[in-house]
Amino acid sequence: MTIKLICLDADDTLWHNMRHFNATEEALVAMLQPFADADIARDTLNACEGRNLKLYGYGAKGFTLSMIETAAELAGDQISKSMIEDILAAGRALLAHPVDLFDDVADTLDALAHRGRLVLVTKGDLLHQESKLAASGLGDLFSGIEIVSDKTENTFRRVFGQYGAAPHEAIMAGDSLRSDIRPALEAGAWAAYIPQEGAWVHEIADTPADHPRFRQIDRLAELPALIDTIG
C-alpha cells in the first residue's frame, strides 16, 4: 500500500494559531471583569461561538462578532462605545498577527513532497487564510490549496477524487480530532493526529485510538517516517 496524497491542516499544524485566539479571549475576559467572573465570561463566549458557527463560520471575524455579542449579553445596558471599540481592535489585531511557523516545517514539507502530492486542507475565512498562507512562504510547496467552510467526510472524499487518489492512498494530518482526524477516517483515509496545547473547545472529540488507520505523532516532522511505515 502506498500513500499518494498527503493532506495537511494549516492552523496549529504548520503555524501557531490558537495561542493568538486564547490571548484575545483573555483580553475579553479582562474587559468583562466588572460584569462577570472569568469562568462565566469564558462559558458565555463558548456558548455564543457554538450558536454562531453556522452563521459566521470559522475564523477571526466570526470570533470578533461573538465577542461583541458576549459583551452585550454580560454587560447589558452598561456596554460602552469604548468597550466595543476595544473588542474590534482586538479582532483586528487577531487578523494581523504574524505567522509563526512550527520548527522545521519547510524541511518537513520538502521531505513529504518526495512521498506524495501535498494538498493544504484548511477551513476558516478565505481572505485571512490566504493572507496567512502568503505570509508563511509555503504556498509553492503544495500541489493544491483547499480552503473550505468546514471539514466533513464529504469534503475529504471530494478532495481525494479531485487529486486522483483512492481514500486508502491518502492521509490527513492535523491537530483537530473533530475536523482533521475523524472525517478523514470516515472517508476511508489514514489520519495522523498531532495534538497541540490550548485546543479550541469546539474541536475536541474522542480519540479513535483503536481505528486501524489512526496514528498519533508528537510533531509534523515525524510524518514522513510514519508514511514510510504505511508504504
Distance between first and last Cα of the chain: 5
Amino acid letter for position 96: A
Asked if CATH classification 2.60.120.10 holds for the domain at 18-95, the reply, yes or no, is no
When pLDDT is averaged across residues 79-108 and rounded to a whole number, the result is 94
Q: What is the rounded distance in angstroms from the CA atom of residue 90 to the CA atom of residue 86?
A: 6
Q: Where are the domains of the chain?
A: 5-16+100-230, 18-95
Report pTM.
Answer: 0.91
Assess whether pLDDT exceeds 90 at residue 116.
yes
Which one has a higher pLDDT value, 119 or 53? Answer: 119
CA distance 26 to 85: 16
pLDDT confidence of residue 203: 73
pLDDT digits (tens, 9 = 90+) for 151-201: 999 999 999 999 999 999 999 999 999 999 999 999 999 999 999 886 777
What would the grid cell of residue 71 be? Answer: 459583551
Per CATH, domain 5-16+100-230 is 1.10.220.150 = no
pLDDT in tens, 27-71: 999 999 999 999 999 999 999 999 998 899 888 999 999 999 999
